[in-house]
Amino acid sequence: MFETAIAGSLPKPEWLAETQKLWPKWVPQGDALQRAKADATLIWIKAQEDAGLDVIGDGEQARQHFVHGFLEAVEGIDFDNKVTMGIRDNRYEAQVPQVISALRLKGRVHAFEAQFARAHTKRKLKFTLPGPMTIVDTVADRFYGDRIKMAMAFAELLNEEALALQADGVDIIQFDEPAFNVYMKDAADWGVQALERAAQGLTCKTAVHICYGYGIKANVDWKNALGHEWRQYEAVFPALANSSIDQVSLECFNSHVPMELMKLLEGKEVMVGVIDVASEAIETAEEVADTIGRALQFVARERLIPCTNCGLAPMSRDIAMAKLKALGDGAALARQRYGS
């Protein structure tokens, strides 16, 4: 009960990459970089296990960014000539690569880190991939001229890699779709369909992570402008409830998301955000257990997965470590409180 998991990313150590940045530059080069990625992955596997978490991730230590890490292995994308583009409905600007021809995978994308993580934990392993709609929102299109067509092209590639990750022994494959909370109508109209194409044929658990973004200033400012009640999830949850995806995440702690929206996810496992990624304050075990208790009004305890609101990548390593422990301790307390 209350199997704990993180959304995905964790901070990179300073000997691997620049710290507290969303698109950090790697510090070592060549073989040394590969070794450093593996070492960092090992540290975070151990930290998650020590914190008592049940579902372990690689902390995305081997990719520069959660979207571009996948795109680097895709043919048809020009990474040498990035352009500045407003993303997430112009909430912030990013340097994005351009799609210039038909898309194809150059080969495996995440074999190294998935197989490495699998070899070093006996617990359940979750692996994250960007969702098709969020990818489309994080590249400049110079070829397809149609967002849905391009999303479906990316979904096919994601599916190819997801099936290979499943064969590597990954237990849960999660697609990250923060764009679902930005383009709500599109998400319900075709985003979920593209997501299901990406998950087609998977027999392992599948998940979708939807959030209000990392705790960076542009996101915090955006959230402050969303009013006292955040109902973005309301548009896409019914479509997800009818989909083949097994697990759906939502932000809870310190957010203005009405908890009753979880009722729209009837039958799904719900990753409930009990850890705030936009605050450096460390949650107490009591606070985490309280959030779980409130969520229990709307989701059955066997379907409740205590989770972080989003990735912890831009935070400091010490704070991220402490937040992992708060998640583990809070879930343990909740098992005592609500176990019988």
Q: Could you write out the DSSP letters of every residue in 142-174?
A: SS---HHHHHHHHHHHHHHHHHHHHHTT-SEEE
Beta carbon nearer to Zn ion, 194 or 310:
310
Q: Which stretch binds Zn ion (CB under 5 A): 61-69, 186-194, 228-236, 310-318?
A: 310-318
Give min distance, CB of 276 to Zn ion, in A: 12
Beta carbon nearer to Zn ion, 98 or 206:
206
Q: Which stretch binds Zn ion (CB under 5 A): 23-31, 72-80, 147-155, 309-317?
A: 309-317
Residue 123: count of CB within 10 angstroms of its CB: 14
Q: Report residue 257: phi and psi, to 5°.
A: -80, 125
Give dist(CA 330, CA 328) in Å, integer: 6
Beta carbon nearer to Zn ion, 103 or 192:
192
Q: How far is CA 17 from CA 21, 103, 144, in A?
A: 9, 29, 34
Give dist(CA 271, CA 311) in Å, integer: 13
Helix (H) or strand (E) holding 102: strand 92-105
Tell which one of 36, 262, 310, 326 touches Zn ion (CB under 5 A): 310
Per-position x/- string for 253-292, each x denoting binding to Zn ion as judged by CB under 5 A, each - no binding: ----------------------------------------
Q: Which stretch binds Zn ion (CB under 5 A): 103-111, 123-131, 193-201, 208-216?
A: 208-216
Beta carbon nearer to Zn ion, 76 or 273:
273
Give min distance, CB of 236 to Zn ion, in A: 14
Beta carbon nearer to Zn ion, 88 or 268:
88
Beta carbon nearer to Zn ion, 76 or 178:
178
Beta carbon nearer to Zn ion, 97 or 131:
131
Give min distance, CB of 249 to Zn ion, in A: 8
Beta carbon nearer to Zn ion, 249 or 291:
249
Give min distance, CB of 237 to Zn ion, in A: 16
Q: Which residues does residue 92 pair with via DSSP β-bridges, in sequence order?
A: 87
Sites for Zn ion among residues 115-174 (CB under 5 A)? none
Give min distance, CB of 310 to Zn ion, in A: 3
Give min distance, CB of 100 to Zn ion, in A: 28
Give dist(CA 90, CA 95) in Å, integer: 13
The alpha carbon torsion through 298, 207, 128, 79 (nearest 10 deg) reads: -110
Per the CB < 8 A criterion, the answer to whether 327 and 306 are in contact is yes
Q: How far is CA 185 from CA 65, 181, 190, 236, in A?
A: 26, 9, 9, 8
Is residue 210 involved in binding Zn ion (CB under 5 A)? no
Q: Which residues does residue 207 pair with via DSSP β-bridges, in sequence order?
A: 174, 247
Is residue 211 involved in binding Zn ion (CB under 5 A)? yes
Nearest to 113 by CA among 75, 63, 151, 153: 63
Is residue 179 involved in binding Zn ion (CB under 5 A)? no
Give min distance, CB of 46 to Zn ion, in A: 23
Tokens of 14: 């300073």
Give min distance, CB of 273 to Zn ion, in A: 9
Contact set with Zn ion (CB under 5 A): 211, 310
